[in-house]
Amino acid sequence: MKIDNSVKTTGTTSSESSGKARAGREAAAPAPAASAGTTVQLSSLSGNLAKIEATIGQTPEVDSARVSEIKQAISEGRFSVDSEKVADGLIESVRQMLAAQPRSA
């Protein structure tokens, strides 16, 4: 089987050409002016979402106290790993990944 490359390039990338096209549209059609009485109302859900995002943004990604506690336990020889719990967690995560994949026909 022979594959023919029928796509011809013009020397510009798609981002360059889309940028030129966008610039042409912007120059040809100016944005409509907003009237003095225009108002926008957002639902309370959007306000709640903004609060949640702010809270998440302030939450540290790493629990430093827990890391220090684990380091201390390791240095004292008190830290032990439950291999069965780790294996069960790995198996469950693989199950979830497989369940999330679309089935191919």
pTM of the model: 0.34
* Mean pLDDT calculated for residue range 3-7: 54
Q: How far apart are CA 56 and CA 58, in angstroms?
A: 5
Query: Residue ranges of the domains in the chain?
Result: 65-105
CB atoms within 10 A of CB 70: 13
Tens of pLDDT, residues 37-52: 788 877 888 888 989 9
Alpha-carbon distances, residue 75 vs 79, 80, 102 (angstroms): 8, 12, 45
Tens of pLDDT, residues 50-76: 899 988 888 888 889 999 999 999 999
DSSP-derived 3-state class of residue 71: helix
